Structure 1
Amino acid sequence: MDENTLTMTPGPTAVPEDVREAMAQPAMNPDVNPEFESYYETLLDKLARVYGTDDEMVVLGGEGILGLETAVDSLVAPGDDVLCLANGVYGDGFADFVEMAGGTPVVHEADYRDAFDPDEVAARVESGDFDAATMVHCETPTGLLNEFDEILATLQEAGILTIVDAVSSLGGTEVPVENIDVCLGASQKCFSSPPGLTTMSVSDAAWEKVEETDQNGFYTSLEPWQDADYSFLPYTHLVSNLYALEASLDRILDEGRESVFARHETAAERCRERGEELGLEPFPGTESLCSPTVTAFEIEGRAEEIQERLYEDHDVLVATGLGEMASDLLRVGHMGYSADETRVEKTMDALESVLD
């Protein structure tokens, strides 16, 4: 892949030049440099502003999946019952992490095309005694965006801690962080920063649960980060990645969160309009379920072939579905730096050429 490739994948996304330049600057030693503490505090403040929360922020050195496993490992004790809301690949995957932590996952499933029924979730909550609940805001493999406001209120009223994977929506659309105990993000999605960092907000209730729960690991535990001294973190942080993340956060804050969200909506609407003109349907099939950060088009049995032709013939890189849907879904990522109408038009022009 060369520098002229148009990357329109749902993460890792294209990284803008100023973010790349930030990552390339000389790196301070985060373990001994006295300036790192104030630098890191400023970074976390910017991250909280992008999240839209007053909760404590944590940045871990590792790709976004690290956050999912760490949240579960830190909050789920052996024998805990955990309600796992699943209408996609990552929702299903949370149950595996719960089992590895010794908890008992109780999976509440919905079809991969459907939203969760709040009344059905409320009934499931009443039927059990749950310590925590897991869910996914945007199911990246299918482009489905879940609406969780009513469900989060139900869980909060029941005293159930909530762990939300918002990896592919944070920074691209509004996320109800104020009602989430652990909200997970990652550098390589809507932040348009290189892969390598997990971000999360952690509520007071979540920290209390961390204290009560025996921690069986270190790198996948939040315990070392509770009341962490920023002058000496639990491990040597990925300082060059932090530089890039800060530059990405500055881009969002300078543009303004609402303007960023509007830009994502505009790019997504144009992507789906062009798809409709080509006779393509977004996978969820319902407009209200379509994410403003990624669109999955149904192309039965041809997705991998079309992905290859887009890259080979037009130097445009998109993604296919995952698992059983690898051949049936073609995914266009319009998130972060790529949430741009011009980039969407070029992508869809190339797709039109391939389909013709």
Structure 2
Amino acid sequence: MDNKQMLMIPGPTPVPEKVLLAMAKHPMGHRSGAFSKVIAELTSGLKWLHQTQNDVLMLTVSGTGAMEAGIINFLSPGDRVLVGNNGKFGERWAKLSKAFGLAVEEITAEWGKALNPADFQAKLEADTEKTIKAVILTHSETSTGVLNDLETINRAVKAHGEALMIVDAVTSLGATSVPIDDWGLDVVASGSQKGYMIPPGLGFVAVSAKAWKAYETAKLPRFYLDLKKYKKATDEDSSPFTPPVNLMYGLQASLQMMQAEGLDNIFTRHQRHTEATRAAMKALGLPLFAPDNAASPAITAVAPVTVEAEKIRSTMNKQFDIALAGGQDHLKGKIFRIGHLGFVCDRDILSCVGALESTLIKLGHSGVTPGAGVAAAARILSQ
């Protein structure tokens, strides 16, 4: 029998049936009055999700495209920027910034550890000439399962006064609270295939008034990703270029689902799943790659010792049709990652943990007590 595949990876994430059915509708003209109403609803819903009254713009790109837009619209060649790098995606933003001729200074931490806010504070306080134009940070580092302390780092940026706070919230938006207006974040980028519960293809960029002021003097080239074009069109309930109409139908359905659940309930659910997954791994004798006090709400990275990570992933996929993510770069083969982001329920966590228990027993992992992982997860989920 062909089983349904279960995605327990950090993206693409599972897509609800309501969203799939919405995307199956016949497309309408993207310049029609009817579609303008769809854009208006999406814009309102996105502002709700981002906890902002600022602009939230939709682009036909991946999360990386949204981040690129967030950099090229507000900075100029030679601008000094601080980039946090403690994983694959922090590393990517450093490379992206260098590609556009920015003067990049990396603040690093070992993969699996959180960035130290004090390192940012020291750099920013020492910058009496106000030459630092932006701090670029990955909030939830997907490659390692680490959640960086954006709130504390952002306070140091705000004290600096000049620098923009540019945030990769690709796997944190919709999984944990990112209160853009309360914190005064300037540029926040995310992607559709994560907490939004829709397939890949849409990127989102939230922009503050301070960032728009920086736009006026920014000199990096831009055309398709010129956010001023998107703002002008969005203000008119339109789009500057041809948008992915059916993907936006899906976003309409997913935002309606999210609003029905409520922000606090969404964030509580993700935290509960994080705690349940981590408790299960500990009960199974599997070392966690990220510490409890910096655990991402989107993904749990596990570093098995007595069983090969890739054998675990292969067996889970072949026997149970459950997809887990692997390690990246030097972590390939050393860790596996369990995604619990977006359209994931308690049953999914228990099913994944139960299948993992069976897999560990099959592969000869020492010290497995059958049912221990499920019991540990169930205790958290029943609270």
Provide closer, same or farther for how the CA distance between residues 27 and 95 of structure 1 changes in structure 2, counting only shifts above 3 A. same
Name the SS for the 1:318 alignment partner. strand
Task: Name the residue aligned to 2:364.
Answer: none
Give 2:143's aligned residue.
141
Who is 1:72 aligned against? 71
C-alpha deviation, 1:192, in angstroms: 1.1
- Contact kept, 8 Å, 1:76 with 1:101, in 2: the verdict is no
State whether structure 2 residue 282 is matched by structure 1 residue 280: no
Q: What amino acid sits opposite 1:186 in the alignment?
A: G
AA of the residue aligned to 1:124 = K
Q: 1:206 aligned to 2:211?
A: yes
- Measure the CA separation in 2 of the matches of 1:351 and 1:51: 35
Matched, 1:90 2:89: yes
Q: Report the counterpart of residue 335 of structure 1 in structure 2.
A: 341
State the Cα deviation string for residues 298-336 of structure 1 (Å, max 9, x = none).
125822221111110111111111111121111111111
Deviation at 1:351, TM superposition (A): 1.0
Structure 2: gaps (5+ residues): 362-383
Deviation at 1:3, TM superposition (A): 6.3
- Judge conservation of contact 1:149–1:176 (CA < 8 Å) in 2: no
In the alignment, structure 1 residue 216 sits paired with structure 2 residue 221 = yes
Give the C-alpha shift of residue 20 in structure 1: 0.3
- In structure 1, the residue matched to 2:168 is 165
- Verify: 1:252 aligned to 2:258, yes or no: yes
Equivalent AA in structure 2 for residue 130 of structure 1: I
Give 1:169-188 correspondences, 5 Å limit: 169-178=172-181, 179-188=184-193
Q: Map Cα deviations across residues 251-279 of structure 1 (whole Å, 9 max, x no partner).
A: 11101110111111111111111111110
Which piece of structure 1 moves more, 168-177 or 300-309?
Answer: 300-309
More off after superposition, 13-22 vs 222-231: 222-231
Q: Is the 8 A contact 2:52 2:179 kept in 1?
A: no
Q: 1:25 to 1:2 in 2, by over 3 A?
A: farther
Structure 1 residue matching 2:204: 3-state secondary structure:
strand
> Residue 226 in 1 paired to residue 231 in 2?
yes
Which of 299, 310, 332 is the matching residue for 2:304?
299
Aligned to 2:29: 29
- Report the TM-score, using the length of structure 2 for normalisation: 0.88
Whether contact under 8 Å (1:34, 1:231) holds in the other structure is no
RMSD: 1.7
More off after superposition, 90-99 vs 130-139: 90-99
SS at match of 2:58: strand
Query: Which consecutive unaligned segments of at least 5 residues does structure 1 have?
Result: none
Calculate percent identity across the aligned residue pairs: 33
* Counterpart secondary structure, 1:310: helix
Q: Name the aligned partner's letter for residue 116 of structure 1.
A: L
Distance in 2 between residues matched to 1:3 and 1:34, nearest whole Å: 42
Deviation at 1:125, TM superposition (A): 1.3
Instruction: Describe the SS at the equivalent of 1:227.
Output: helix
Q: Normalising by structure 1, report the TM-score.
A: 0.95
Paired with 1:244 and 1:10, the residues of 2 have a C-alpha distance of: 19
In the alignment, the residues of structure 2 paired with residue 144 and residue 176 of structure 1 have an alpha-carbon distance, to the nearest angstrom, of 19
In structure 1, what residue type is equivalent to 2:168?
D
Structure 1, residues 213-248: CA drift from partner, whole Å, max 9, x if none?
124121233232232253552211111111111111
Write the distance in 2 (CA, Å) between the matches of 1:163 and 1:40: 25
Query: Take 2:226 and 2:156, find their aligned partners in 1: how far apart are those partners?
Result: 27
Aligned AA (2:299):
V
